[in-house]
Structure formats: C-alpha cells, structure tokens
Amino acid sequence: MRRLAAILMTSCICLSMGFSLSKAGTPEQVVKISAKRYEFTPNQISLKKGVPVVLELTSEDRVHGFNAPEFQVRTAIAPGKTTTIKFVPNKVGSFDFFCDIFCGSGHEGMNGKFNVTE
C-alpha cells in the first residue's frame, strides 16, 4: 500500500512539473512548441541528457517543418493538429532546430535551439 502511495505521489509531482512517466518508469519532459510564420515558440528549450523528451508540435497558420538533425528528429506540422515526437537527447551542448518546409520570405530565420545539460 505504501509503495502504491509513493508511485502515485511521484506521478503527481512529475505531471505538475511538465513530466510524465514513460513505459519504463523514467520521467519524460513534455515540451509544447507552437509554429507560426516565421517563428517557433519557445525557440530556446532546456533539456537534460538522457531524459526522454516528448515534443507536442502545433501550427497556428500553415504547414511547417520541424527538423533537429543532431537528434534525427524530423516531421511536418499541420495546422489544427498536434504532432508528437519522442526522443532522448544523448549528448550535451547547444543544437539547432529549424523549419524545413518553405513558408515565405522569413522562412530562413525560423529556428531555435535545444540546450542540453548533464
């Protein structure tokens, strides 16, 4: 009974901090990213090496791309839908992500960074 109470308490704490539990019981960091002509919000995202990440991507206006080549993460983001991507950052540093579907004259500046720490 105590073990069940401890698991439930840990789950509640993780969920309130933007984390959920993965199948293996490892906390996942959930990050919501919104795309619109010509920006991602947020565009600076802090992650921890080895902590699973769930990106929930939405578009406010048109189809955009999301590409983070260092982590082999790539998808299209359609308006009105949430696209979910899961990955585990496996290295420390600052890594670019960007829109890779042309969305207009400001497209080349539509980018951001993952800042991964130990």
Sequence spans of domains, the chain? 22-117
**Sign of the torsion formed by the C-alpha atoms of 97, 59, 42 and 106:** positive
37: burial class by Cβ within 10 Å (0-12, 13-18, 19+)?
A: middle
Query: Quick one: pLDDT at residue 27?
Result: 87
Query: Quick one: pLDDT at residue 8?
Result: 37
Q: Does domain 22-117 have CATH number 2.60.40.420?
A: yes
Per-residue pLDDT reduced to its tens digit, 44-101: 999 999 999 999 999 999 999 999 999 999 999 999 999 999 999 999 999 999 999 9
Nearest to 40 by CA among 54, 20, 19, 61: 61
Query: Quick one: pLDDT at residue 103?
Result: 86
